[in-house]
Protein backbone atom coordinates (compact mmCIF):
# COMPACT_ATOMS: atom_id res chain seq x y z
CA UNK A 1 0.00 0.00 0.00
CA UNK A 2 2.79 2.42 0.87
CA UNK A 3 4.43 1.57 -2.45
CA UNK A 4 1.32 2.60 -4.36
CA UNK A 5 1.04 5.88 -2.46
CA UNK A 6 4.62 6.75 -3.38
CA UNK A 7 4.14 5.82 -7.03
CA UNK A 8 3.54 8.92 -9.14
CA UNK A 9 2.09 6.93 -12.06
CA UNK A 10 -0.60 5.62 -9.72
CA UNK A 11 -1.35 8.88 -7.92
CA UNK A 12 -1.79 11.07 -11.02
CA UNK A 13 -4.60 8.93 -12.60
CA UNK A 14 -6.35 8.55 -9.23
CA UNK A 15 -6.15 12.29 -8.64
CA UNK A 16 -7.44 12.94 -12.17
CA UNK A 17 -10.41 10.61 -11.65
CA UNK A 18 -11.25 12.32 -8.34
CA UNK A 19 -11.06 15.76 -9.95
CA UNK A 20 -13.30 14.60 -12.81
CA UNK A 21 -15.93 13.13 -10.46
CA UNK A 22 -15.87 16.22 -8.27
CA UNK A 23 -16.19 18.54 -11.28
CA UNK A 24 -19.06 16.48 -12.70
CA UNK A 25 -21.02 16.42 -9.44
CA UNK A 26 -20.37 20.09 -8.66
CA UNK A 27 -20.55 21.44 -12.24
CA UNK A 28 -23.37 23.94 -11.57
CA UNK A 29 -21.68 25.43 -8.52
CA UNK A 30 -18.32 25.52 -10.28
CA UNK A 31 -19.80 27.37 -13.29
CA UNK A 32 -21.54 29.86 -10.98
CA UNK A 33 -18.28 30.36 -9.09
CA UNK A 34 -16.34 31.00 -12.31
CA UNK A 35 -19.01 33.44 -13.52
CA UNK A 36 -18.90 35.42 -10.28
CA UNK A 37 -15.10 35.54 -10.47
CA UNK A 38 -15.14 36.75 -14.09
CA UNK A 39 -18.08 38.60 -15.67
CA UNK A 40 -19.91 38.90 -12.36
CA UNK A 41 -16.86 40.48 -10.75
CA UNK A 42 -16.57 42.97 -13.62
CA UNK A 43 -20.20 44.01 -13.15
CA UNK A 44 -19.66 44.61 -9.44
CA UNK A 45 -16.51 46.64 -10.13
CA UNK A 46 -18.42 48.88 -12.53
CA UNK A 47 -21.24 49.34 -9.98
CA UNK A 48 -18.76 50.32 -7.26
CA UNK A 49 -17.09 52.84 -9.58
CA UNK A 50 -20.49 54.39 -10.32
CA UNK A 51 -21.16 54.69 -6.58
CA UNK A 52 -17.82 56.47 -6.23
CA UNK A 53 -18.85 58.91 -9.02
CA UNK A 54 -16.07 57.63 -11.31
CA UNK A 55 -16.82 57.51 -15.02
CA UNK A 56 -15.99 54.06 -16.34
CA UNK A 57 -15.44 52.53 -19.77
CA UNK A 58 -16.63 48.91 -19.74
CA UNK A 59 -14.25 47.88 -22.54
CA UNK A 60 -11.20 49.32 -20.75
CA UNK A 61 -12.24 47.72 -17.46
CA UNK A 62 -12.71 44.34 -19.17
CA UNK A 63 -9.31 44.63 -20.88
CA UNK A 64 -7.60 45.59 -17.62
CA UNK A 65 -9.17 42.67 -15.74
CA UNK A 66 -8.17 40.27 -18.53
CA UNK A 67 -4.56 41.46 -18.32
CA UNK A 68 -4.51 41.23 -14.50
CA UNK A 69 -6.01 37.72 -14.49
CA UNK A 70 -5.25 35.77 -17.66
CA UNK A 71 -2.20 37.87 -18.55
CA UNK A 72 -0.46 37.44 -15.20
CA UNK A 73 -1.67 33.82 -14.98
CA UNK A 74 -0.09 33.06 -18.36
CA UNK A 75 3.19 34.64 -17.22
CA UNK A 76 3.15 32.42 -14.11
CA UNK A 77 2.46 29.40 -16.33
CA UNK A 78 5.50 30.28 -18.46
CA UNK A 79 7.68 30.64 -15.35
CA UNK A 80 6.97 27.01 -14.43
CA UNK A 81 7.63 25.75 -17.98
CA UNK A 82 8.24 22.88 -18.81
CA UNK A 83 6.52 21.71 -15.61
CA UNK A 84 2.97 21.65 -16.99
CA UNK A 85 1.15 20.44 -13.87
CA UNK A 86 2.66 23.06 -11.58
CA UNK A 87 2.18 25.74 -14.26
CA UNK A 88 -1.51 24.89 -14.65
CA UNK A 89 -2.14 24.76 -10.89
CA UNK A 90 -0.40 28.01 -9.99
CA UNK A 91 -1.36 29.77 -13.22
CA UNK A 92 -5.04 28.93 -12.64
CA UNK A 93 -4.81 30.11 -9.04
CA UNK A 94 -3.25 33.43 -10.08
CA UNK A 95 -5.89 33.84 -12.80
CA UNK A 96 -8.77 33.34 -10.37
CA UNK A 97 -7.17 35.69 -7.86
CA UNK A 98 -6.57 38.21 -10.64
CA UNK A 99 -10.29 38.34 -11.37
CA UNK A 100 -11.02 38.99 -7.69
CA UNK A 101 -8.25 41.54 -7.11
CA UNK A 102 -9.94 44.55 -8.83
CA UNK A 103 -13.11 43.92 -6.83
CA UNK A 104 -11.15 43.74 -3.58
CA UNK A 105 -9.30 46.97 -4.40
CA UNK A 106 -12.49 48.82 -5.40
CA UNK A 107 -14.30 47.58 -2.28
CA UNK A 108 -11.44 48.90 -0.17
CA UNK A 109 -11.51 52.28 -1.91
CA UNK A 110 -15.31 52.46 -1.62
CA UNK A 111 -15.23 51.61 2.10
CA UNK A 112 -12.58 54.28 2.62
CA UNK A 113 -14.72 56.81 0.74
CA UNK A 114 -17.76 55.94 2.87
CA UNK A 115 -15.71 56.39 6.04
CA UNK A 116 -14.42 59.76 4.79
CA UNK A 117 -17.98 60.90 4.08
CA UNK A 118 -19.08 59.98 7.60
CA UNK A 119 -16.00 61.68 9.09
CA UNK A 120 -16.76 64.89 7.16
CA UNK A 121 -20.41 64.87 8.25
CA UNK A 122 -19.44 66.41 11.60
CA UNK A 123 -18.17 69.60 9.95
CA UNK A 124 -20.73 69.47 7.15
CA UNK A 125 -23.74 69.19 9.46
CA UNK A 126 -22.33 71.93 11.67
CA UNK A 127 -22.25 74.24 8.65
CA UNK A 128 -25.76 73.14 7.66
CA UNK A 129 -27.08 73.66 11.20
CA UNK A 130 -25.68 77.19 11.33
CA UNK A 131 -27.23 77.93 7.93
CA UNK A 132 -30.64 76.62 9.04
CA UNK A 133 -30.55 78.88 12.12
CA UNK A 134 -29.73 81.89 9.94
CA UNK A 135 -32.85 81.27 7.86
CA UNK A 136 -31.45 79.35 4.87
CA UNK A 137 -33.15 76.36 3.29
CA UNK A 138 -31.70 72.84 3.14
CA UNK A 139 -30.60 73.21 -0.49
CA UNK A 140 -28.84 76.49 0.33
CA UNK A 141 -27.00 74.88 3.26
CA UNK A 142 -25.88 72.08 0.95
CA UNK A 143 -24.43 74.72 -1.34
CA UNK A 144 -22.57 76.30 1.61
CA UNK A 145 -20.97 72.92 2.39
CA UNK A 146 -19.89 72.55 -1.25
CA UNK A 147 -18.37 76.06 -1.20
CA UNK A 148 -16.50 75.69 2.12
CA UNK A 149 -15.30 72.08 2.14
CA UNK A 150 -13.27 69.69 -0.01
CA UNK A 151 -13.55 65.92 -0.23
CA UNK A 152 -16.16 63.24 -0.93
CA UNK A 153 -18.99 64.80 1.11
CA UNK A 154 -19.07 68.07 -0.92
CA UNK A 155 -18.91 65.95 -4.09
CA UNK A 156 -22.02 64.06 -3.00
CA UNK A 157 -23.84 67.27 -2.07
CA UNK A 158 -22.83 68.88 -5.37
CA UNK A 159 -24.32 65.91 -7.25
CA UNK A 160 -27.58 66.36 -5.30
CA UNK A 161 -27.69 70.06 -6.19
CA UNK A 162 -26.97 69.33 -9.86
CA UNK A 163 -29.81 66.81 -10.01
CA UNK A 164 -32.14 69.30 -8.32
CA UNK A 165 -31.37 71.78 -11.10
CA UNK A 166 -32.43 69.09 -13.59
CA UNK A 167 -35.79 68.66 -11.87
CA UNK A 168 -35.17 66.03 -9.18
CA UNK A 169 -36.60 66.74 -5.74
CA UNK A 170 -34.42 67.15 -2.66
CA UNK A 171 -35.94 64.04 -1.10
CA UNK A 172 -35.06 61.88 -4.11
CA UNK A 173 -31.53 63.29 -4.26
CA UNK A 174 -30.94 62.56 -0.57
CA UNK A 175 -32.37 59.05 -0.97
CA UNK A 176 -29.90 58.33 -3.77
CA UNK A 177 -27.14 59.70 -1.55
CA UNK A 178 -28.17 57.21 1.14
CA UNK A 179 -28.07 54.36 -1.38
CA UNK A 180 -24.55 55.27 -2.54
CA UNK A 181 -23.24 55.61 1.04
CA UNK A 182 -24.94 52.85 3.08
CA UNK A 183 -23.91 54.08 6.54
CA UNK A 184 -26.18 54.48 9.54
CA UNK A 185 -25.19 58.11 10.05
CA UNK A 186 -25.99 58.97 6.43
CA UNK A 187 -29.32 57.14 6.68
CA UNK A 188 -30.08 59.12 9.84
CA UNK A 189 -29.44 62.39 8.00
CA UNK A 190 -31.53 61.41 4.95
CA UNK A 191 -34.45 60.14 7.02
CA UNK A 192 -34.54 63.12 9.39
CA UNK A 193 -34.40 65.72 6.58
CA UNK A 194 -37.07 63.96 4.50
CA UNK A 195 -39.42 63.53 7.48
CA UNK A 196 -38.96 67.02 8.92
CA UNK A 197 -39.53 68.65 5.53
CA UNK A 198 -42.97 67.00 5.45
CA UNK A 199 -43.98 67.25 9.11
CA UNK A 200 -42.03 70.32 10.21
CA UNK A 201 -39.49 70.55 13.00
CA UNK A 202 -36.20 72.06 14.10
CA UNK A 203 -33.57 70.87 11.65
CA UNK A 204 -30.81 72.75 13.50
CA UNK A 205 -31.32 70.69 16.67
CA UNK A 206 -31.62 67.51 14.60
CA UNK A 207 -28.26 68.19 12.98
CA UNK A 208 -26.71 68.77 16.42
CA UNK A 209 -28.06 65.41 17.60
CA UNK A 210 -26.66 63.63 14.54
CA UNK A 211 -23.26 65.31 15.02
CA UNK A 212 -23.16 64.20 18.68
CA UNK A 213 -24.10 60.63 17.67
CA UNK A 214 -21.36 60.51 15.01
CA UNK A 215 -18.74 61.79 17.47
CA UNK A 216 -19.70 59.18 20.07
CA UNK A 217 -19.58 56.44 17.43
CA UNK A 218 -16.13 57.60 16.27
CA UNK A 219 -14.82 57.49 19.85
CA UNK A 220 -16.03 53.90 20.26
CA UNK A 221 -14.54 52.88 16.88
CA UNK A 222 -11.14 54.32 17.84
CA UNK A 223 -11.20 52.38 21.12
CA UNK A 224 -12.04 49.19 19.24
CA UNK A 225 -9.23 49.83 16.74
CA UNK A 226 -6.77 50.24 19.60
CA UNK A 227 -7.98 47.03 21.27
CA UNK A 228 -7.86 44.94 18.08
CA UNK A 229 -4.53 46.28 16.79
CA UNK A 230 -2.65 43.45 18.49
CA UNK A 231 -4.94 40.84 16.95
CA UNK A 232 -4.47 42.35 13.50
CA UNK A 233 -0.68 42.21 13.84
CA UNK A 234 -0.79 38.63 15.14
CA UNK A 235 -2.97 37.56 12.21
CA UNK A 236 -0.61 39.25 9.75
CA UNK A 237 2.46 37.58 11.27
CA UNK A 238 0.83 34.13 11.40
CA UNK A 239 -0.17 34.45 7.75
CA UNK A 240 3.29 35.54 6.58
CA UNK A 241 5.47 33.22 8.67
CA UNK A 242 5.13 30.07 6.45
CA UNK A 243 5.99 32.02 3.29
CA UNK A 244 8.91 33.79 5.00
CA UNK A 245 10.28 30.44 6.20
CA UNK A 246 9.88 29.03 2.69
CA UNK A 247 11.90 31.94 1.33
CA UNK A 248 14.60 31.48 4.00
CA UNK A 249 14.96 27.77 3.21
CA UNK A 250 15.05 28.58 -0.51
CA UNK A 251 18.09 30.79 0.14
CA UNK A 252 19.88 28.61 2.72
CA UNK A 253 19.18 25.12 1.36
CA UNK A 254 17.22 25.05 -1.92
CA UNK A 255 17.48 21.25 -2.15
CA UNK A 256 15.61 20.85 1.15
CA UNK A 257 12.39 22.34 -0.27
CA UNK A 258 12.91 21.19 -3.85
CA UNK A 259 10.42 18.26 -3.49
CA UNK A 260 7.65 20.80 -2.89
CA UNK A 261 8.12 22.08 -6.44
CA UNK A 262 9.40 18.98 -8.23
CA UNK A 263 6.97 16.29 -7.06
CA UNK A 264 3.23 15.82 -7.41
CA UNK A 265 2.79 15.39 -3.64
CA UNK A 266 4.67 18.62 -3.12
CA UNK A 267 2.32 20.53 -5.44
CA UNK A 268 -0.68 19.19 -3.53
CA UNK A 269 0.96 20.17 -0.22
CA UNK A 270 1.67 23.70 -1.48
CA UNK A 271 -1.91 24.07 -2.72
CA UNK A 272 -3.27 22.93 0.65
CA UNK A 273 -0.93 25.26 2.55
CA UNK A 274 -1.94 28.29 0.49
CA UNK A 275 -5.63 27.40 0.79
CA UNK A 276 -5.46 26.89 4.56
CA UNK A 277 -3.50 30.13 4.99
CA UNK A 278 -6.16 32.05 3.06
CA UNK A 279 -8.96 30.45 5.10
CA UNK A 280 -7.12 31.19 8.35
CA UNK A 281 -6.51 34.82 7.35
CA UNK A 282 -10.17 35.33 6.46
CA UNK A 283 -11.33 33.77 9.75
CA UNK A 284 -8.94 35.93 11.79
CA UNK A 285 -10.17 39.04 9.99
CA UNK A 286 -13.79 38.13 10.74
CA UNK A 287 -12.98 37.59 14.42
CA UNK A 288 -11.17 40.92 14.90
CA UNK A 289 -13.64 42.96 12.80
CA UNK A 290 -16.18 44.51 15.17
CA UNK A 291 -18.90 46.68 13.68
CA UNK A 292 -20.32 49.52 15.74
259-275 confidence digits (pLDDT tens): 777 777 877 887 788 78
234 versus 24: which is more confidently predicted?
A: 234
- Quick one: average pLDDT of 95-115? 84
- Quick one: average pLDDT of 109-113? 88
Residue 166: inside a domain, yes or no? Answer: yes
Question: What does the mean pLDDT of the chain come to?
Answer: 77
Residue 159: inside a domain, yes or no? Answer: yes
Contacts 24+ apart (CB under 8 A), 193-200: 193/138, 197/138, 197/170, 197/171
Domain housing 1? 1-37
Residue 1 has pLDDT above 60, yes or no: no
Cis upstream peptide for 82 (omega within 30°): yes
Q: What is the pLDDT of residue 40?
A: 59
pTM: 0.68
Residue 201: inside a domain, yes or no? Answer: yes
Phi, psi values for residue 38, rounded to 5°: -120, -95
Residue 284: inside a domain, yes or no? Answer: no
pLDDT in tens, 163-218: 888 888 888 888 888 888 888 888 888 888 878 777 766 777 787 888 888 888 87
Residue 281 has pLDDT above 80, yes or no: no
Q: How far from chain centre, in Å, is Cα 11?
A: 39
Residue 90: inside a domain, yes or no? Answer: no
Choose the final residue of a domain: 215, 233, 261: 215
Choose the final residue of a domain: 181, 215, 249: 215
DSSP class of residue 263? S
* SS3 label, residue 168: coil
Residue 280: inside a domain, yes or no? Answer: no
109 versus 30: which is more confidently predicted?
A: 109
Question: What CATH number does residue 151 fall under?
Answer: 1.20.81
Residue 209: inside a domain, yes or no? Answer: yes
Residue 6: inside a domain, yes or no? Answer: yes
Q: How far from chain centre, in Å, is Cα 5?
A: 42
- Quick one: average pLDDT of 244-273? 80
Residue 24 has pLDDT above 70, yes or no: no
For the chain, the domain total comes to: 2
Choose the final residue of a domain: 215, 230, 245: 215
Amino acid sequence: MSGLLSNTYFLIPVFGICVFLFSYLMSDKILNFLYKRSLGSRKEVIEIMEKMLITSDKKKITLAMLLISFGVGFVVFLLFWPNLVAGIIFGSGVTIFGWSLPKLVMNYLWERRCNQVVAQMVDGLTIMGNGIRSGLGVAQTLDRVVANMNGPLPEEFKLILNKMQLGMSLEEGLSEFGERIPRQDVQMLVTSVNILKETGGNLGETFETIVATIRDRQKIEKKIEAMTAQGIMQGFIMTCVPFVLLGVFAIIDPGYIAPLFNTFIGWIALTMVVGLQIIGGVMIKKIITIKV
